[in-house]
Structure 1
Amino acid sequence: MDLDDAYANGKYIAGAEAYPVRWREAAAAFRDRMLAAGRARLDLSYGSGERHRYDLFLPEGEARGAVVFVHGGYWLNFDKSVWSHLAQGPLGRGWAVAMPSYDLCPAVRIADITAQIAQAVQAVAAEVDGPISLTGHSAGGHLVARMAAPGMLPPEVAARLAHIVPISPLSDLRPLLRTSMNAHFAMDQAAAEAESPVLQPAPSVPVTLWVGAAERPSFLDQARWLAEAWNAENVVVPQRHHFDVIDALADPDSELTRTLTGS
């Protein structure tokens, strides 16, 4: 299809095949440390499905609030277990961090995944007091942006949203109709429009877009489109690509972590 190359990431990143291995190893080691410290609660349920589970990592002392991180993978790959180490940044600022899994296409549609993430956010809200900040990467960036749509979350949960930080998000799904991936998504024009955050009303909650300067032009466009549609800040990070732009979440003192947690 004519846009397959535009939305291909790995072929333009040196050593791309090593990243998932590195992520999984770092995530497993971090979970082991958190379990030993009694600060990890794994596989909490937010729904009835096998993948409707989230991991919750707790800071030392009382949590200032909750960060929810939603993973990417084009709604086709990965689960919560690959990204646990990215909780280190918000934890270091005193926030609890929840990481949900969700069902994957083609077994479900993207709209179904959106509804599952809304369920997950509600479950986290019931578990942790205080403000809630949402962040997600790539397809996860799409999913957290969708949480800002009117009526997506119950009013009492929506009122607790402090900040939404979509990282390298897919904000307009209409171009994906012209990729071979749509064989898995099974989207038509109406479905793509309904699931595109750029077509949602601008939310009242603060939103900051985050994207690497070395990303594919299509992802720079996707972040810019949402920033323009919502009149939101768009941070373009020098020398970062699609696979390493998320690394800053593991650092409590990074600009990304400070933006997400408001500290």
Structure 2
Amino acid sequence: MELIDWTDAFENGAYIPGAEEIAAGWGRDAAAFRAATPPRTLRYGDGARQIVDLYLPEGAPRGLAVFVHGGYWHSRAPQDFAHLAAGALARGWAVAQPGYTLAPEARIAGIGREVARAVELAASAVAGPIRLSGHSAGGHLVARLACAGALDPGVAARIAHVLPISGIFDLAPLTASAMNAKLQLDAAEAAAESPALLEPSDAPMTLWVGAAERPEFLRQTRLMGEARSRSGRPAAEIYAPGLNHFTVIAGLADPASDIVTTWLETNP
């Protein structure tokens, strides 16, 4: 018998005051940003969602900052979070926001391969160091890219820092959640796609999570930190005071924020 309600453990909106208004604000801010700063759109496959929105700064980019959106692998799109490119863009970085095929049309392993192809394509368009970040399911996906063998070796060698935000690094509990009707995870795929169980690459990592998030997201962050320590490639852990699963990403739109500074300037 399960002692934990895993569906509830991964539920965020019901526990966040004003969650609907926050999510609606994402849409308004993203649409305004895209209208003022139209991206260059790259295509890495024939699928409708196999695109990368690439925002270019004035002058030569300092490098490539990649942000992978969340939505539990079965919802949302990069266009919903376009405004979060503003912080890195203002600091002179090109910003890539990959799309990917959603579950149940794609399984998590396939989504991970798509994001790898998207990053490799963006890397071919922008020179210099690469800094990865992603939120929630996107946090999982960038942590998965920071595992050995996930990326082309030449691209992997350019990864200067990985910042998963409120990521999910142990997928096993999802097999007992209601969302698995869409994810279709089995035990084998959950293990094979859990970054906490895999050999990390040499890419430095900082784990960022809101201190006011649900207990499962705090546990997931601690677990990943412990796994990295055991591997001999420790990751810093930052528990952002007062922030929850929805508010934790807001600072990405502000070039002066702590989260943007950590993402772009940390050299572990």
Q: What TM-score range do you get, normalising by the shorter chain?
A: over 0.9
Confirm or deny: 8 A CA contact 1:145 1:166 kept in the other structure. yes
Alpha-carbon displacement from aligned partner over 1:127-169 (angstroms, at most 9, x marks no partner) = 0000111000000000000001221111111000010000000
Question: Is 1:215 aligned with 2:213?
Answer: yes
Q: Give the corresponding residue for 2:143.
A: 145
Residues 62-141 of structure 1: pairs in structure 2 closer than 5 A: 62-141=60-139
Q: Which residue pairs with 2:11 in the alignment?
A: 8
**Counterpart for residue 229 of structure 1:** 227
Match of 2:261 in 1: 258
Instruction: Tell me which amino acid in the other structure corresponds to 1:52.
Output: Q
Counterpart of 1:171 in structure 2 is 169
Alpha-carbon distance in 2 for matches of 1:74, 1:32: 27
Name 1:190's counterpart in structure 2.
188
Provide the secondary structure at the position in 1 that maps to 2:109: helix
Give the conservation status (yes or no) of the 8 Å contact 2:63–2:129: yes
| Structure 2: distance between partners of 1:157 and 1:54 | 16
**Aligned partner letter, 1:238:** P
- Unmatched tracts of structure 2, length 5 or more: 229-233
**Counterpart Cα distance in 2 of 1:188 and 1:34:** 41
* Aligned residue pairs, count: 258
Q: Name the SS of the counterpart of 2:101 in structure 1.
A: coil
Structure 1 partner of 2:57:
59
Aligned letter for 1:14? P
The percent identity for this pair of structures is 52
2: distance between equivalents of 1:133 and 1:218?
26
Contact 2:149 2:201 in 1 (8 A): no
Give the structure 1 partner of residue 231 of structure 2.
Answer: none
Partner of 1:23: 26
| Distance in 2 (alpha carbons) for counterparts of 1:46 and 1:224 | 34
For 1:225 and 1:174, the matched residues in 2 are separated by 13
Task: Tell me how far apart the structure 2 counterparts of residues 226 and 114 of structure 1 sit (CA, whole Å).
Answer: 18
Contact 1:202 1:229 in 2 (8 A): no
Distance across 2 between alignment mates of 1:256 and 1:227? 18
| Partner Cα separation in structure 2 for residue 249 and residue 113 of structure 1 | 23
Q: Detail structure 1 runs of 4+ shifted over 2 Å in the superposition.
A: none
TM-score relative to the length of structure 1: 0.96
- Alpha-carbon distance in structure 2 between the residues aligned to 1:93 and 1:100: 20
Q: 2:197: which partner in 1?
A: 199
Aligned partners of 1:148 and 1:135: how far apart in 2?
11
Unaligned runs of 5+ in 1: none
In 1, the alpha carbon distance for the partners of 2:184 and 2:61 equals 41
Q: CA offsets per residue over residues 191-233 of structure 1, 9 Å max, x none?
A: 1000100001133111000000110000011111111111211
Match in the other structure for 2:246? 243
